[in-house]
Amino acid sequence: MRVSVVGQGYVGLTAAACLADQGHLVTGVERDPERLRSLQRGVLPFSEPGLPELVFGMTTEGRLRFVRACAEGPQPDAVVLAVGSPQLPSGGADLRQVSAAMAEILSLRESPAMVVVKSTVPPGTSSRLLTTDTRMNGRSLRERYVYSPEFLSQGSALDGWRNPARIVVGTETPSLLPLVEDLYRGIDAPWVLTTPTNAEMIKYASNAFLATRISFINEIANLCDEIGASVDDVIRGIALDPRLGGDFLRPGVGYGGSCFPKDTKALAHLSNLKGRAMPLLESVIAVNNAQRIRVTQLIDEELADRPGATIAVLGLSFKPDTDDIREAPSIPIVSDLLASGYRVQVWDPAVSGSVVETAYPGAVRFLNTRDAVEGAAAVIVLTEWPQVLAADWSELAERMREPRLVVDGRNCLDPNRLVPLGLRYRGFGRGLQTGAGTPLTLAEQAQT
Ligand SMILES: NC(=O)c1ccc[n+]([C@@H]2O[C@H](COP(=O)([O-])OP(=O)(O)OC[C@H]3O[C@@H](n4cnc5c(N)ncnc54)[C@H](O)[C@@H]3O)[C@@H](O)[C@H]2O)c1
């Protein structure tokens, strides 16, 4: 099948490369001139494990190429729309990219047999588009339209595309299904066949539920800190219940990235527009915002007698294996630390120097963890990069200054490894661990 994928961001480029790998002849459409030039030169505009090699392989084989506008590529059988749907100041979704890309598709000289929208759009968006009886060359868009949300996760995008937990297909035209099957050929996953509105809702409800789990465990962790309980034991006990499981139950600085923050807000915004508050979801968002403030509170508590101390921030991206800092907790945290007068030294293996300069003005960037922690009274871990987990913490401890505090914003380090090195450890729901009189959990007692 000849497929055009409109929008070559994290989702679109992954889709384009994987669809080419599945045997389709793919044109990636990107309107941003700099991003397009970079793709045409074979340089990826962002980092995603495995994607550069796949894009190189597919372009070399002539199964993937990049153009600026849909009309510049060969006439497609199917168009996949993967443009951005960022957040508006109101909290709602900004659908201007989606509308502009759709207008471009509708004006193609020959209309494609199928238009598959993968961008995350608020429930009701497709329905509105279809009820206006939008036409492509005289034929109703409804006859060609599929809403199929994307669930991939940055950092493991290729695996997310190739091995999804499910494929959701929202359409009012069942005769399109053989084409959809052909598009997703080679992917073995259960299908949820439904209406476009339900498919849109599935995407938002999934992200809202995952965000809820994160905020829920953060509240439990905060209470664990108050009463001296170990959140790690609590999570172990929760996770063994098959009704609950253990995914998305890691306390810390909260969720970030280009999806959870904007999608939770867009869903709450939509519900408010309909005259129905969503108090649970509003609380999920509020708890998440508060977690970031907790980090600076912990630092202020511990470094009260050291104004202007140096603080090292390890990890800026919202999760490992990506350079994406959209809505990353690191942005408000670094800004708050600088505003409180601390000197902030940052390290991240994927976020570039120019991005650090613009998004973290005032912070000093280092190229390795050792230099970043030099002279720091406290280290804050904001991304669980493998380099942080595998770091030689005894060397890092030696390079730090008193009180040698480690704030583990992802509960990803083992305090039992750090505390004997003379580090003060502060996780979430793990209390302050200093080595002196830190109680062992029952599980630890059983192991000794
Ligand atoms: N990033 C994720 O992990 C993820 C996961 C699931 C779903 N989504 C959703 O998928 C969509 C895309 O996300 P993303 O992170 O890839 O976005 P992105 O902002 O990284 O990329 C969007 C790209 O589309 C391009 N574009 C916009 N209008 C265009 C047009 N008319 N023609 C050609 N190119 C155009 C932009 O220049 C940009 O490069 C969003 O709706 C997002 O919510 C994202």
Over the stretch 363-375, which tens digit does the pLDDT of each residue have? Answer: 999 999 999 999 9
Of all protein residues, whose CA lies closest to atom 28 belonging to ligand 1? 97
| Interatomic CA distance for residues 52 and 43, integer angstroms | 8
214 lines ligand 1 (CB under 6 A): no
* Residue 259 bears catalytic tag: yes
Of all protein residues, whose CA lies closest to atom 17 belonging to ligand 1? 84
In order of 35, 38, 60, the CA distances from 42 in angstroms are: 11, 6, 10
- pLDDT for the residue 373: 98
In order of 159, 239, 363, the CA distances from 212 in angstroms are: 24, 16, 32
Of all protein residues, whose CA lies closest to atom 31 belonging to ligand 1? 101
Across all residues in the chain, what is the average pLDDT?
94
Is a pLDDT exceeding 70 seen at residue 446?
Answer: no
What is the CA(97)–ligand 1 centre distance, in A? 9
Name the residue of 6, 10, 44 to mutate for ligand 1: max ligand atoms within 8 A of Cβ: 10
391 lines ligand 1 (CB under 6 A): no
105 lines ligand 1 (CB under 6 A): no
Is a pLDDT exceeding 70 seen at residue 139?
Answer: yes
pLDDT bucket at 448, cuts 50 / 70 / 90: very low
The number of the ligand 1 atom at minimal distance from the alpha carbon of 85 is 41
374 lines ligand 1 (CB under 6 A): no
Is a pLDDT exceeding 60 seen at residue 445?
Answer: no
- pLDDT for the residue 351: 97
What does the pLDDT look like over 178-225, one tens digit per residue? 999 999 999 999 999 999 999 999 999 999 999 999 999 999 999 999
Structure-token match 């793919």, residue found:
26
What does the pLDDT look like over 280-301, one tens digit per residue? 999 999 999 999 999 999 999 9
Is a pLDDT exceeding 70 seen at residue 444?
Answer: no
- pLDDT for the residue 440: 46
The number of the ligand 1 atom at minimal distance from the alpha carbon of 12 is 16
- pLDDT for the residue 447: 54
Residue by residue, DSSP assigns 74-110 as PPPSEEEE-----B-TTSSB--HHHHHHHHHHHT-SS
- pLDDT for the residue 109: 84
82 lines ligand 1 (CB under 6 A): yes
| Interatomic CA distance for residues 239 and 428, integer angstroms | 18
Is a pLDDT exceeding 90 seen at residue 17?
Answer: yes
What is the CA(85)–ligand 1 centre distance, in A? 7
- pLDDT for the residue 209: 98
> Are 113 and 79 contacting, i.e. CB atoms less than 8 angstroms apart?
no
Of all protein residues, whose CA lies closest to atom 27 belonging to ligand 1? 83
Structure-token match 């980090």, residue found:
295
Q: Average pLDDT in the 59-68 region?
A: 98
- In terms of Cα–Cα distance, which of 98, 207, 196, 194 is closest to 152? 207
- pLDDT for the residue 432: 83
What does the pLDDT look like over 97-134, one tens digit per residue? 999 999 999 988 888 999 999 999 999 999 999 987 67
What is the CA(10)–ligand 1 centre distance, in A? 7
Is a pLDDT exceeding 70 seen at residue 169?
Answer: yes
Of all protein residues, whose CA lies closest to atom 37 belonging to ligand 1? 32
Is a pLDDT exceeding 80 seen at residue 420?
Answer: yes
Q: Average pLDDT in the 130-153 region?
A: 86
Instruction: State the Cα angle at 144 between 175 and 166, rounded to 5°.
Output: 70
Torsion 65-69-72-78 (CA) sign: positive
- pLDDT for the residue 443: 54
Angle, helices 231-239 vs 196-227, to 10°: value is: 140
